[in-house]
Amino acid sequence: MLEGKIAIVTGGTRGIGYEIALKFLKEKATVIIFGSKEESVEKAIEKIKNIKYDYSIEGYYPNLGKEEEIREVFQKIYDTYGNIDILVNNAGISSYTNLTEYEEEEVNNIININLKAVFTCSKIASSFMEEKGGVILNTSSMVSLYGQKSGSMYPATKEAVNGLTKSLARELGKKKIRVNAVAPGVIETDMVRNLPKEKIEPLIGQIPLGRMGTGEDVANAFLFLASDMASYISGEILQVDGALVN
């Protein structure tokens, strides 16, 4: 479904980002993952190469808070492959801090990674997509729609990502660039697996489909939106949450 496509996945070294990268590789894309550290990028690439050595994958670790670092890496990717077809803005910072306990540094970090980096990467990627068009996909969250009991900066930035997604879809449509987001629900990540049973069971009880989602469930949604099957879909926030009841 993605043969010949060049895809960048930020936050692609673990969790949902890793599953997206792996799914795109299986569909014959060339994938470039971004991570926060050289070590985590190399570890993820080694893990993928152990699955299938001839997957076309490489990685970088730019500071997503610095536009010039991001631009330099995007330019290097474009010079190497001659195009950038797909950008997945997946890197993010979660938060469960109570309102009165937030420090300015944490607030700034959440805004920088969850929102500003999405804006900056989209801005730069769109300049490379102007000639041939492309796809920009953002990772949102169910809490952008429902909120959460603490860590208010996380849903605030994810709701902002929804607004950015819809606005960029309208702005970039004339350049044949589609922009969508995926809002995962309760997904079976390493963090969730480590929760005690008494916390997991009430979560599952709120899901009409009766189970948590998997990383592959979310990756499948990204694959669909990245592919030509979604060629007339833009500006959507696709919920992947099993019809979660708030």
String of DSSP letters for 98-156: -GGG--HHHHHHHHIIIIIHHHHHHHHHHHHHTTT-EEEEEE--THHHH--SS-THHHH
Phi-psi map region of 11: left, alpha, beta (phi>0 left; psi -120 to 50 alpha): left
For tokens 């792996």, name the residue.
Answer: 22
Query: For the chain, how many residues are written?
Result: 246
The tokens for 143 are 């809490």
Q: Residues with catalytic annotation?
A: 154
Q: How many Å apart are CA 88 and CA 46, to the nearest integer?
A: 21
Q: How many Å apart are CA 153 and CA 155, to the nearest integer?
A: 6
| DSSP SS3 for 183 | strand
Q: How many Å apart are CA 211 and CA 187, to the nearest integer?
A: 9
For tokens 């109570």, name the residue.
Answer: 98
| DSSP SS3 for 70 | helix
The tokens for 83 are 């195009």
Q: How many Å apart are CA 109 and CA 80, to the nearest integer?
A: 31
